[in-house]
Structure 1
Amino acid sequence: MADIEKVSMNLSVVDLGQIDLLVDQGFYSSRTDFFRAAIRTRLAGHDEAIKQAVVRTSSVIGVISFDREHLERIQRNNEQVRVVVVGLLILSNDISPELAQATIKSLKVYGSLRASAAVKEALAERIN
């Protein structure tokens, strides 16, 4: 896995005990292994809905990265982009807040956005 985000959650002691029992019985190697398997199973059950939503919103699934050079090309063409990502969006550190504002019309990230604090602040009103 290229990029992993940490997620925390609250569970009842009974649910957690059942998970620990399954781990102890060898069904899973760890609690983390159980959670990953459970999440993948649930996501697979919604695979078609996810695909349709991605098509409807012109989203990108996975990791997308923009650097200064890419955004400067967009700016030279007097264009702005609407970015919808399911996964990870990386706006490289060489992007100035002004360039980001000039080229990114809107942002919607289902997952994680990695950008400098200054760029995030400059785009705050455009992040849905």
Structure 2
Amino acid sequence: MADIHTLRDRQGDSEKITINLGFVDLGHIDLLVREGFYSNRTDFIRTAIRNQLASHADAVKQSIVRNTLELGLRRVSRRELEDAKAKGVRLQIQVVGLAAIDDDVTPDLARETIETITVLGALHASRDVKAALADRIR
């Protein structure tokens, strides 16, 4: 079945994003960094995001349950897809976190066995598999 792991916040397990801030907000952040409240801008932003996520934790949990989403790392292996194909099952993969399709999964096998894939976070797969699933990625 599903191979699910909880992700820890480590540099290698992250996705880079870009945000635009007003000059005054940025100045406030820099002031807090200068005063030693945070080690740098990134530390401030990560802390602010974690605080917001914590304040909405119940709503997030309810949504995950309501939408039957998997939380953390969802690894999709060639063996899992071959088993699904043998059983005539098509997967509907829904993940909050990281969905990773193994490198040995062929585009044809992915198309034959994955009906839809919804990822709130990041999808790691070969360029060819992503292209094969492009119309099924939500």
TM-score surpassing 0.5? Answer: yes
Aligned to 1:77: 87
Q: Is 2:63 the counterpart of 1:56?
A: no
Aligned to 1:114: 124
- Structure 1 unmatched runs, 5+: none
Deviations 1:93-126 (A, max 9, x none): 1000110011111011000000011111111111
Aligned to 2:34: 24
Instruction: From 57, 76, 82, give the equivalent of 1:47.
Output: 57
1:70: Cα distance to partner? 1.3
SS in 2 for 1:94: coil
1:72: Cα distance to partner? 0.4
Which residue identity is paired with 1:56?
R
Aligned to 1:5: 15
Q: Aligned residues, how many?
A: 128
Q: Is 2:97 the counterpart of 1:87?
A: yes
1:69: Cα distance to partner? 1.1
Which residue identity is paired with 1:85?
V
Identity score, percent:
47
Aligned to 1:96: 106
SS in 2 for 1:42: helix
Which residue identity is paired with 1:86?
V
Which residue identity is paired with 2:79?
E
Give TM-score scaled by structure 2 length. 0.90
- Structure 2 unmatched runs, 5+: 1-9
